[in-house]
Amino acid sequence: MPKTRIIVWEGLDAAGKTTLLNEVKRLLEERDYRVLVYKTPSDSKTGNFAKSYGNDPRIDPLTRMLLFLANTSDDSRIIREQIESESPNFYFIDRYYLCSIVYGFAFLKLQGNPLSEEDFRRFITLMEKLGGRVFVEPDLYLIVDAPEEDRVKRLAEKESQGGLENILERDTRMQQYVREFYRVFREMKPDRVYWIMNPQGKLREVAEQIAEILLSEGGVRLKQ
């Protein structure tokens, strides 16, 4: 898959990640690049089960993490097949196995489990070793954050879906733990992770900056 650059989009709930992803996709397509997007949890069998069962408020944090992690692992086959068959210039993954682990660790910590940064590093390292023949290897990670006041405003405008997901995305302490674990990951892979701040009202400006990052990181050589 040498011609395709795989970009994983991660970030906090209501940071505007998916909206930003779609705007960057549009900007790249205006320059004649082909961009495919895959979003997890998907509508595959494991994705639907993770969404329906994993978001039951009665489910414990460990079970929930493992369900979503199973989906991202399972969907790697679909992702790989799409890249091999379509050969896009850019393949955007809207949350991948990193998200399952970050949110799992944050939820466990929220419930009183004294997990450390070193625990997280070890778990990430182990999962990437176990999934070496399963996961696709991202070229870059974009972690999208936003000022907390902007994140809260976006949540207020968002229609509530109910369930555990809705509870966790509105919990400020939970989201702060999410930030902390994403920052640990950035420290682990400083050459492949960009931390993107996405304040309210700056969509076009931030999207243009990201598009330039992707092209300067080698995308310009991919144009046919």
Name all domains of the chain by residue range, CATH numbers in brackets: 5-222 (3.40.50.300)
Residue 181's pLDDT is 98
SS3 of residue 169 by DSSP:
helix
Residue 203's pLDDT is 96
The segments of the chain whose pLDDT lies below 50 read: 1-2, 219-224
Would you list the DSSP string of 4-40?
PEEEEEEE-TTS-HHHHHHHHHHHHHHTT--EEEEES
Residue 223's pLDDT is 36
Contact criterion met (CB below 8 Å) for 69 and 97: yes
Strands 90-94 and 5-11: parallel
Residue 7 to residue 195: CA distance in whole angstroms = 13
The neighbouring-strand residues paired with 211 are none
CB neighbour class for 187 (10 Å; exposed up to 12, middle 13-18, buried from 19): exposed
Residue 199 to residue 197: CA distance in whole angstroms = 6
Q: For 41, phi and psi rounded to 5 degrees? A: -65, 140
Which 8-state DSSP code applies to residue 135? Answer: S
Secondary-structure breakdown of the chain: helix, strand, coil percentages, each rounded to the nearest 5? 60, 10, 30
